A and B are shown apart, each in its own frame.
Chain A
Amino acid sequence: CTDDFVEKNTDPNAITDVTPDLLLPGIIRTGVNEMVNQSWSIGNIVIQHTAKIQFVSEDRYTWGDRDGLWENMYNNLRDVQLLLELSQKNNANNYRGISLIMRAWMYSILTDAYGDVPYSEATKGVSGILQPKYETQEVICNGILNDLKTASELLGPGEVVVGDLIYNGDVSKWKKLANSLRLRYLLRISDKKDVKADMQAILSNPTEFPVFTSADDNGTMRYLTSAPNQFPLYTARQGSFDEFRLSTNLGDKLTALNDPRITVFAQPTDASVAAGTPKYSGVPNGLNEVAALDYNGGPNNISRAGALFYKGSITDRGLNVAKGYILSYHELQFILAEAVKKGLVNSTKTAQFHYEEGIKAAFDYVDVDMPANYLKNPGVAYNDASALALIGTQKWISLFFSGLEAWFDWRRTGVPEIKAGVDNVNSGKVPVRFAYPRSEQTLNPNSLNEAVTRQGPDNYNTHVWWDL
């Protein structure tokens, strides 16, 4: 009486087989959305682009269990693993190359946020590995760089890619993204390792290893106007959006530089608008709840974050500005400026050229006209003596709402100055990593403990391997 049971227990609606184009858009969307959310909830705050006036715990460094990044990235990496297997089986080199880039990018964020993390054994649950080992950041960084190099070699014309939310199937741009990311990650570890040869090898061979040559190459994701694919903050409640305000650190810097990008990053205060004289004014990071709400006479006198990152994100201009971010041409220019300045690479262009090219591209990126004399302004104008500070500062400004990249970069360069707020509860230290998710204590304790023993206490203040 069980003859038809096999058929009966076959789910009529289950999809048990997919093609690469069905997996790719989900992988990109999940990863990029996660970084927009990370930017808003922690990245902008710790790097003092924004500051909170209500529910101020992030700003006072009681970060709690920051497991969202961990959960969402590893969950997404399972699909990456499946896509890699699928494309390898089908000899679909372009899908495989793109998967490797996405994998490298996601692991770089995980390791830069947490330090040692599960890597080569990760996402292998099907093979019975339920408690993957954590690997050292050094091993992971090598893996990331290898993946990117392999990707660059695999990617090429011929095979059509569908479901590409970044470049709409333009494989040559993925190739540029792979090599540009290599430069980012080589610079990241440059205090720890000699990366000169590797950087030079890329830059000397633009045919084999092309990098971004203009803002057209930007590795960014343009959101849609319709639900549920709008800029993630579009659906936030007004009150939740208003908890985040312009930080004095960024606000004062932009005001001092007479930098019109403030009109995109922030909104003039309500009080100044009511008085007919729109003005921008921030709030310091890390105040306690009452002090933050009281600061400068209350929220009326504090600038909200830019409307283009909220309800304005579905306008034409908002679509251009509020984007998901992997890597941009302007960031690459700042990377090159620093590398040239530090003598890590020999370039036909000067550090100043890359610096100024970066600034111009950064203004374009947020759809703001750069004032004619901006590059000559004191505090902006290039000079060799303070070049690293200038480059770092402009890079920091340009990385508004760009995931956690500005924080990773600041931990390496120390530019600009970021000070813990007066009411911080982390002994005056600015966090330099996330603590591991609590769930790992019960689900993967041995591997976790091994990593903690090797790396140092599992708190916000333990430096990761590349962070001296």
Chain B
Amino acid sequence: MPFSRKSNAEKTITGKVTDEGSIGLPGVSVIVKGTTTGTISDSEGRYSLAVQDDATTLIFSYVGYLSEEIAIGNRMAVDVVMKPDARNLNEVVITALGIKQESKRLGYAVQEIKGSELDKARETNFVSGLAGKVAGVQVMSSPSGIGGSARITIRGDKSLDINKNQPLFVIDGVPITNALTGSSGRDFQELDYGNGASLINPDDVESMTVLKGANASALYGSRGANGVIVITTKSGKNSKGLGVSVNAGLTFENPLVLPDFQKVYGQGNNGEFSFVDGNGGGIRDGVDESWGPKMDGRLIAQHDSPTSNGYRGGDISLIDDGQLGSPADLAARGTITPTPFVPGNNLKEFYETGITNNTNVSVTGSNEKGDFRLSYTLLDQKGIIPNTDIKRNTFAINTGYNLSPKLTVRIAANYVNSTSANRPNLTYGTESIIYLLHCWMGQHVNLNSLKDYWIPGMEDRQQFNFNYNYHDNPYFNLYENTNSQNANRIFGNISVKYDFTKWLSLQLRGGTDFNNDLRKRRRAFSTQRFPFGSYREERVRNGESNFDFLLTANKDFNENFTFGANIGGNHQIATTNNFEVTAPQLLIPGIYSFNNTRVALVSSIQDINKVVNSLYGSVQFGYKNFLFLDVTARNDWSTALTLPAIADSLGQTINSYFYPSASLSAVVSDILPMPEWVSFGKIRTSLAQVGNDTDPYRFTSGYGRSDPWGDYPVYSSTRTLVNYNLKPEISTSFEIGTEWRFLKNRAGLDFTFYNINTRNQILPSVPVSITSGYSNRIVNAGEIRNYGFEVMLSGSPVQTQNFKWDVNVNWSANRSKVIEFDGEVTDYQMAERHGVSIRAQVGQRMGDMYAIGFKRVEDKNSPYFGEKVLNESGRYLSTSNRIKVGNYNPDWMAGIRNTFTYKNFSLSGLLDIRHGGQIFSETFVVGLEAGQLEETLEGRENGYDINQPGNGVIGKGVIQNPDGSYRVNDVKLTAREYHQSRTGNRDIPEGGIFNASYAKLREVRLGYMVPAKFLSKAKIKGLNVSVVGRNLAVWSKVPHIDPETSSLSGGTIIPGIESVGMPTTRSWGFNVGFSF
């Protein structure tokens, strides 16, 4: 009893401290109020304390529980039931390497999310569910429909390699891969099969801790440089006896934002259109723009008009003569009987209601020897795009057994089978249905007319369409040209822990993550890009294994000093083994087999291995439970920085790198006297370094195999110039923060400032003039500085017996700047799409977007300063070089959650705000060009005769006179010319840039916990019912698209550039959970 003190006039008070389940709580501090007299409870929660006679009140406090002040009165026995601290502000969190720490000891910012916040209003991609919930975390989903990838960054982009900015995911102490594999843009096919972390099942997540900076993650080594998301899965540890839980959800999805089309003019040009062969044989019927006749019911021959021979107008390949729309074909089809020309592009009807059914059943049990949890989850989802789906079965087991009082074995294992019959094609190009539906499809085309998508007698051979020039029938695309996936994934670990003494233990652990994914792509005959069809199978196998040991010591020297230390080592093996075979053309239509190939099969193999060995350690000192120092050190050895024998003489190897960190936490409220209304105050600071390596085989300069020429194999050398002297990257981060709670924890504030410098960045692809023979080279260059603020506020403005209102706000602002490059590199293009490039330049912000812009009046004395300049023919002039047109990063982000609780009801809403930043919209640029968007009605109020009132547009801007002065533009263009000139016929991407600010109603949940008294007979416990909604509304100035859209290119998610993506979805539905 270290705190007790004898005195003359005293009595002894005894009692038991329990939790709400009547389980004794050991280690609870019991103090006489106003004195230092105190004790702590024993292993069963009992205490005995000698107090002076005048003692009136006892204070009971315990980590994770609300402090209780109990009047003694004249009692000799005082029992207490401790209530958990609902806000978890004094909680224990899981930190690096799975070490549990009291959050007050931490010298850096972490934020925890409970599994219960993720498993009701859920996202198919686990990562997307984090949006708006954590300060400093930005989530961008790829525009690819259900189960697509998501890009997550913490505290902004730190690496110039756009693919190297995502945090590490660690499940139950073992890293998993978050690769985005195989979505390559080859052969016009851009597909997204989901990122690795997307398969994490929210139902199995107990808690998630976001370690935001290098400080928090120094022990994870290089991959922790962008932060770490530490996930702990549910176990049976806290269950009593055998229990079964069920959690089921049913939600419905529809598109959140669709383009606003004009509904006045149909396909054609200059007001003219008439279908003959959809190939240019009629009047403007080869044109796929909507500058055609007014859709006022006038009679026009169309693809779905009947013909004299009983066919449809578009049935132009009835004779098998190998030629589309030959004279014989057209004769067989007959003459088209014109039908009323009316609005048809019924996009809203095209999108179906998505349905997501998620059911989880888990069984838990425990006794003094061990515990287990078995869980099964079914996710069955139908996308909003016809014939797209996901079916996912997840099995999880988490179990532990105490072989002896000192030896414990735990196993956590997950098996996921995720299948999809079809994942839609993405991005700008014929293979994508969005390219057609949102950009090019004639406004008069009735989508239902395309559902019967074969030409009679030519089934499997020739699709039916409204246009045969450029496009595929969207239903043909979705039902015939499928991209299926069958992924099997296993991840988990086995650990053995031996407690030598109370304060010394050793843990050995082996974990693996293995993914085997089979993908099949079918292309039917008559596909625009594949006239003879094609078939491809890709087998993607990747994963990693980690083997580690951890020796842990925790010793309290005396009442003032505590000490803890860890020493560990890790052996990490990452492997990728991809194999792909393609039949470029098929022999017989409709048979997708490699035996049915018309030409030689094409195959490729990719075999990648990487090993990193590490040793690390940490020491923690605590003084009087209010001052904490934590020091870590780690050394990595990476194969990726090791020269292969063939290059040994060409450079030098530095494959070993060391980095330390230190952090300090001071609980000032325990050090200094504080006013009554301050419940807790803490200041923390830390300094850390993290080293980083690169991808394997960077030193290999080889020859790539290209398509053979008949029997001749063909090779060509790589266009990347190798650097044999790569050094590891080092990032150094500093962080300082403070955390306060007031009014008995009713209000809280957490503030962090951080600064991160990343040096010696490994740039895998710095462009060089192709005249050198090489297009890019690998260099170490550059220093990026990231700094920013994170603020979290919490409070309960109203708190009564039955009603409670809680507010949680997180706010963050990040700036990433390029401090320097090496001498040769002055700027670096990180990505490019649609003429917009994302470039890093010295002194500038990361995420800057450059493109050809509008030429403007530069003379500051001119009354027209800043106006756009047009040429004599009334068209906008462009800048000669690319200029900065925006930045994809927001100025700040915020998440605001309000929760109202009334008796057993609770209502919560999460508003996600992003302020500042720009986005380029290809949907807008092409939609104007093609006359699809609402805006394009300007200038054709009365058709196309430019002399009629309301027709033609005089663009805003000035024309330079021959004498150098300017006059206001006076040249009228036709509507088509004008709207196309607004983006310089796609040559002035600045015309497609918008302010990307938005606010999104990210999540709404209305829950009802059925009172236990109603359930006692049914043996059901904890029945809760909720109505949930996600992404219910968005407010933004970006027209036609969700401002939170990125593009996907060759397996890279590019922020800031929208490239005709799938619409994002709004979802709402129900969730029911209970146990028995």
User: Which of A123-131, A170-178, A249-257 has 4 or more CB atoms under 8 Å from chain B?
Assistant: A123-131
0 or 1 for each of A204-237: is its CB under 8 Å from B? (1 = yes):
0000000000000000000010111100000101
Known pairs A22-B715, A443-B768; A239 contacts B470 (CB<8 A) = yes
**CA of A81 to CA of B716, assembled, Å:** 12
Contact A242 B774 (CB under 8 A): no
By beta carbon, the residue of chain A nearest B322 is A311
B702 at the interface (CB under 8 A from A): yes
B644 at the interface (CB under 8 A from A): yes
Q: Which of A29, A165, A443 contacts B769 (CB 8 A)?
A: A443
Interface set, chain A 150-186, CB cutoff 8 A to B: 162-163, 165
By beta carbon, the residue of chain A nearest B468 is A238
By beta carbon, the residue of chain B nearest A118 is B771
A97 at the interface (CB under 8 A from B): no
Q: Which of B468, B704, B773 contacts A125 (CB 8 A)?
A: B773
B705 at the interface (CB under 8 A from A): yes
Interface set, chain A 33-85, CB cutoff 8 A to B: 54, 57, 64, 70-71, 74-75, 77-79, 81-82
0 or 1 for each of B318-350: is its CB under 8 Å from A? (1 = yes):
000001100100100000000000000000000
Chain B residues closer than 8 Å to A13, beta-carbon distance: 605-607
**CA of A123 to CA of B777, assembled, Å:** 14
Contact B775 A5 (CB under 8 A): no
By beta carbon, the residue of chain B nearest A229 is B709
Contact B721 A125 (CB under 8 A): yes
What is the distance, in angstroms, from B161's C-beta to the closest C-beta of chain A? 19
By beta carbon, the residue of chain B nearest A126 is B721
Chain A residues closer than 8 Å to B269, beta-carbon distance: 290, 293
Q: Which of B532, B642, B655, B702 contacts A11 (CB 8 A)?
A: B702
Contact B529 A22 (CB under 8 A): no
B772 at the interface (CB under 8 A from A): yes
**CA of A124 to CA of B768, assembled, Å:** 12
Chain A residues closer than 8 Å to B600, beta-carbon distance: 226
B823 at the interface (CB under 8 A from A): no
Q: Which of A6, A8, A81, A226 contacts B598 (CB 8 A)?
A: A226
By beta carbon, the residue of chain A nearest B642 is A5
Contact A54 B287 (CB under 8 A): yes
Contact A229 B707 (CB under 8 A): yes
Interface set, chain B 641-676, CB cutoff 8 A to A: 641-646, 648, 655-656
Chain A CB within 10 Å, residue with most, of B324, B600, B702, B987: B702
Chain A residues closer than 8 Å to B824, beta-carbon distance: 130
User: Which of A139-147, A294-302, A368-376 has 4 or more CB atoms under 8 Å from chain B?
Assistant: A294-302
B804 at the interface (CB under 8 A from A): no
Q: Which of A26, A57, A293 contacts B985 (CB 8 A)?
A: A57
0 or 1 for each of A1-33: is its CB under 8 Å from B? (1 = yes):
110111111111111101001110111011000
By beta carbon, the residue of chain A nearest B637 is A2
**CA of A273 to CA of B469, assembled, Å:** 20
Contact B772 A131 (CB under 8 A): yes
B700 at the interface (CB under 8 A from A): yes
Interface size class of B (residues with CB under 8 A): 35 or more
Contact A1 B637 (CB under 8 A): yes
Chain B residues closer than 8 Å to A12, beta-carbon distance: 607, 609
**CA of A12 to CA of B646, assembled, Å:** 13
By beta carbon, the residue of chain A nearest B571 is A1
What is the distance, in angstroms, from A80's C-beta to the closest C-beta of chain B? 9
0 or 1 for each of B720-731: is its CB under 8 Å from A? (1 = yes):
010000000000
B133 at the interface (CB under 8 A from A): no
Chain B residues closer than 8 Å to A131, beta-carbon distance: 769, 772
Chain A CB within 10 Å, residue with most, of B288, B467, B642: B642
B861 at the interface (CB under 8 A from A): no
A187 at the interface (CB under 8 A from B): no
Chain A residues closer than 8 Å to B702, beta-carbon distance: 11, 14-16
Q: Which of B645, B648, B703, B721 contacts A15 (CB 8 A)?
A: B703
Chain B residues closer than 8 Å to A2, beta-carbon distance: 613, 637, 639, 642, 655-656
Contact A64 B701 (CB under 8 A): no
**CA of A12 to CA of B702, assembled, Å:** 11
**CA of A229 to CA of B987, assembled, Å:** 32
What is the distance, in angstroms, from A285's C-beta to the closest C-beta of chain B? 19
B999 at the interface (CB under 8 A from A): no
Known pairs A122-B771, A237-B470; A165 contacts B705 (CB<8 A) = no
Chain A residues closer than 8 Å to B706, beta-carbon distance: 26
What is the distance, in angstroms, from B683's C-beta to the closest C-beta of chain A? 40
A132 at the interface (CB under 8 A from B): yes
Chain A residues closer than 8 Å to B1014, beta-carbon distance: none
What is the distance, in angstroms, from B389's C-beta to the closest C-beta of chain A? 30
What is the total of A-B residue contacts with beta carbons within 8 Å? 228
Known pairs A64-B987, A273-B327; A25 contacts B703 (CB<8 A) = no
B743 at the interface (CB under 8 A from A): no
By beta carbon, the residue of chain B nearest A315 is B322
0 or 1 for each of B229-268: is its CB under 8 Å from A? (1 = yes):
0000000000000000000000000000000000000000
Contact B469 A298 (CB under 8 A): no
Chain B CB within 10 Å, residue with most, of A224, A239, A240, A444: A239
**CA of A165 to CA of B585, assembled, Å:** 23
Contact B716 A23 (CB under 8 A): yes
Chain B residues closer than 8 Å to A25, beta-carbon distance: 709, 712, 714
Known pairs A9-B639, A9-B699; A444 contacts B769 (CB<8 A) = yes
Known pairs A2-B637, A9-B696, A9-B699; A18 contacts B529 (CB<8 A) = no
**CA of A118 to CA of B773, assembled, Å:** 11
**CA of A261 to CA of B172, assembled, Å:** 75
By beta carbon, the residue of chain A nearest B289 is A54
**CA of A440 to CA of B768, assembled, Å:** 9
Contact A132 B640 (CB under 8 A): no
Chain B CB within 10 Å, residue with most, of A11, A29, A299, A442: A11
What is the distance, in angstroms, from A89's C-beta to the closest C-beta of chain B? 15
**CA of A441 to CA of B704, assembled, Å:** 30
Chain B residues closer than 8 Å to A227, beta-carbon distance: 532, 584-585, 598-599
0 or 1 for each of B154-175: is its CB under 8 Å from A? (1 = yes):
0000000000000000000000
0 or 1 for each of B110-125: is its CB under 8 Å from A? (1 = yes):
0000000000000000
Contact A22 B703 (CB under 8 A): yes
Contact B637 A125 (CB under 8 A): no
What is the distance, in angstroms, from B743's C-beta to the closest C-beta of chain A? 55
Contact B719 A78 (CB under 8 A): yes
Known pairs A10-B644, A226-B585; A298 contacts B284 (CB<8 A) = yes
Contact A75 B470 (CB under 8 A): no
Contact A163 B773 (CB under 8 A): no
17 CB contacts below 8 A, A to B, read A1-B637, A2-B637, A2-B639, A6-B642, A8-B611, A9-B696, A16-B646, A16-B702, A21-B712, A26-B714, A54-B286, A122-B772, A123-B771, A123-B772, A239-B286, A440-B769, A442-B827
Q: Enumerate chain B interface residues (CB-CB to A < 8 A).
A: 269-270, 279-284, 286-288, 323-324, 327, 330, 430, 467-470, 528-529, 531-532, 584-585, 598-600, 605-611, 613, 637, 639-646, 648, 655-656, 696-697, 699-707, 709-710, 712-717, 719, 721, 767-775, 777, 824, 827, 881, 974, 985, 987
Q: Enumerate chain A interface residues (CB-CB to B < 8 A).
A: 1-2, 4-16, 18, 21-23, 25-27, 29-30, 54, 57, 64, 70-71, 74-75, 77-79, 81-82, 117-118, 122-126, 129-132, 162-163, 165, 224, 226-229, 235, 237-240, 242, 270, 273-274, 290, 293-294, 298-300, 311, 438-444
**Seed contacts A2-B655, A21-B712; 14 additional CB < 8 Å A-B pairs:** A1-B637, A6-B648, A11-B644, A15-B702, A27-B716, A30-B716, A70-B770, A78-B717, A78-B719, A131-B772, A163-B714, A226-B584, A227-B585, A242-B286
Top 4 nearest A-B pairs (CB, nearest first) are: A239-B469, A123-B773, A78-B773, A125-B772
